[in-house]
């Protein structure tokens, strides 16, 4: 049983009360790096979340970071309308999401860290910190996003990863880092650790884009969590690849380091926007196959226990 609390947009909540956790998703987002693929309508998000709820999703981790149209008030509205707890994110993405001239390119590591710290401990900035004089939203972030490029961590990404490591060290908040096509895993972990983050607080997203069970076992052996999110992403590979990967990593002894998310990061992926696979896919299409592979206990550990432990904060969210 997971101990401690998570911080949701509607307040703290016992980590052992989350149910099935979609450990990496998006409900409201509009990235300058993905023109025309924004999804910003809370009514559509509510429709999608209610459909997910009906299939058994208990909690959603909404990993939209600073600069991608993060909408704390919208997330509160979705959580209140559906009753589904939402853990929101602070932190920063990889370079591709920040246009030239964006404030993140010239901010010091100290400013980058202070803004994440404020999001986590006071409340999220309502407009991506574009106008620092605006009052903070009452909803606090409960996790931190990071990002790196393909086989490479740029200078700007390095500064932002150093900043989020410092914010994690100060608060105990979990860090989920976008790995581009599953690359640069060890380099990302090395950098975060040298900047003060504990491996237990680090997860890497999209590692299953590079479904290499030996590499993943090495990452898990460092104490880092693997977050798989190509479920239903048939354009990359069939779900059987993800199931084979999970089974291989479990046999290598790392079942307790795996979490799953759908990472619906563009409007084409939502049923509420007349696309797919939609939020319900995790429980309707994938989980029955996961249960057949691993049994009820193995599926429960991946869907419920591991994310509860990963996203839990040691005390009330701040050191
Ligand atoms: Zn994402």
Question: Residues, the chain, total?
Answer: 319
Chain CA centroid to CA 61, Å: 6
Residue-level pLDDT at 314 = 76
For the full predicted model, state whether its pTM sits above 0.95: yes
Q: Report how far ligand 1's centroid is from the alpha carbon of 39 (Å).
A: 13
Residue-level pLDDT at 273 = 97
Q: Considering Cα of 295, then 251, then 289, then 177, what sign does the dihedral take? A: positive
Residue-level pLDDT at 34 = 85
Q: Report how far ligand 1's centroid is from the alpha carbon of 27 (Å).
A: 10
Beta-sheet strands, E only, within 20-138: 20-25, 57-62, 86-91
Contact 174, 310 (CB under 8 A): yes
Q: Report how far ligand 1's centroid is from the alpha carbon of 265 (Å).
A: 6
Residue-level pLDDT at 260 = 98
Q: Report how far ligand 1's centroid is from the alpha carbon of 77 (Å).
A: 21
Distances (CA, A) of 151 to 195, 215, 265: 20, 14, 21
Q: Which of 209, 248, 206 is nearest to 225 (CA)?
A: 206
Q: For residue 57, give every residue at least 6 positions away whose Cβ sits within 8 Å of its Cβ, in sequence order, or none.
A: 19, 20, 22, 49, 84, 279, 280, 282, 283
Structure tokens at 261: 């998310």
Q: Which of 115, 82, 92, 103 is nearest to 8 (CA)?
A: 82
Residue-level pLDDT at 319 = 42
Q: Report how far ligand 1's centroid is from the alpha carbon of 266 (Å).
A: 9
Q: Report how far ligand 1's centroid is from the alpha carbon of 177 (Å).
A: 9
Cis, peptide link before residue 277, omega less than 30° from 0: yes
Q: Report how far ligand 1's centroid is from the alpha carbon of 161 (Å).
A: 16
Q: Report how far ligand 1's centroid is from the alpha carbon of 23 (Å).
A: 10
Helix H or strand E encompassing 119: helix 109-121
Residue-level pLDDT at 32 = 86
Q: Report how far ligand 1's centroid is from the alpha carbon of 262 (Å).
A: 8
Q: Report how far ligand 1's centroid is from the alpha carbon of 93 (Å).
A: 9
Q: Report how far ligand 1's centroid is from the alpha carbon of 146 (Å).
A: 10
Per-residue pLDDT tens digits for 236-264 = 999 999 999 999 999 999 999 999 999 99
Q: Report how far ligand 1's centroid is from the alpha carbon of 233 (Å).
A: 13
Per-residue pLDDT tens digits for 116-151 = 999 999 999 999 999 999 999 999 999 999 999 999
Residue-level pLDDT at 139 = 98
Q: For residue 198, give every residue at least 6 positions away whose Cβ sits within 8 Å of its Cβ, in sequence order, or none.
A: 168, 169, 223
Q: Report how far ligand 1's centroid is from the alpha carbon of 195 (Å).
A: 23
Stretches where the chain sits below pLDDT 70 are 1, 315-319
Residue-level pLDDT at 317 = 43
Residue-level pLDDT at 45 = 98
Q: Report how far ligand 1's centroid is from the alpha carbon of 89 (Å).
A: 11
Q: Report how far ligand 1's centroid is from the alpha carbon of 49 (Å).
A: 16
């Amino acid at each position: 049983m997971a101990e401690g609390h998570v911080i949701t947009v509607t307040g703290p909540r016992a980590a052992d009360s989350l149910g099935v956790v979609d450990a990496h998703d998006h409900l409201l987002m509009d990235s300058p790096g993905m023109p025309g693929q924004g999804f910003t309508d809370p009514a559509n998000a509510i429709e999608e979340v209610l459909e997910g709820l009906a299939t058994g999703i208990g909690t959603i981790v909404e990993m939209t970071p600073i600069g991608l149209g993060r909408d704390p008030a919208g997330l509160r509205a979705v959580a209140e309308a559906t009753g589904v707890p939402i853990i929101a994110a602070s932190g920063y993405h990889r370079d591709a999401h920040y246009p030239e001239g964006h404030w993140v390119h010239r901010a010091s590591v100290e400013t980058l860290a202070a803004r994440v710290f404020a999001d986590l401990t006071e409340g999220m900035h309502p407009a991506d910190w574009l106008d620092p004089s605006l009052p903070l939203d009452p909803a606090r972030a409960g996790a931190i996003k990071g990002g790196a490029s393909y086989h490479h961590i740029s200078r700007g990404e390095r500064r932002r990863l150093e900043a989020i490591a410092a914010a994690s060290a100060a608060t105990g908040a979990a860090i989920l880092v976008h790995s581009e096509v599953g690359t640069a895993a060890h380099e990302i972990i090395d950098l975060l650790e040298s900047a003060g983050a504990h491996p237990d607080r680090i997860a890497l997203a999209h590692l299953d884009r590079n479904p290499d069970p030996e590499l993943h076992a090495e990452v898990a052996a460092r104490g880092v969590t693997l977050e798989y999110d190509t479920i239903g992403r048939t354009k990359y590979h069939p779900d059987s690849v993800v199931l084979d990967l999970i089974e291989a990593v479990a046999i290598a002894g790392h079942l307790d380091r795996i979490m799953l998310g759908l990472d619906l990061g563009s409007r084409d992926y939502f049923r509420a926007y007349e696309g797919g696979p939609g939020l319900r896919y995790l429980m309707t299409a994938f989980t029955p196959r996961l249960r057949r592979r691993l049994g009820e206990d193995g599926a429960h550990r991946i869907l419920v226990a591991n994310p509860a432990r990963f996203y839990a904060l040691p005390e009330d969210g701040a050191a």
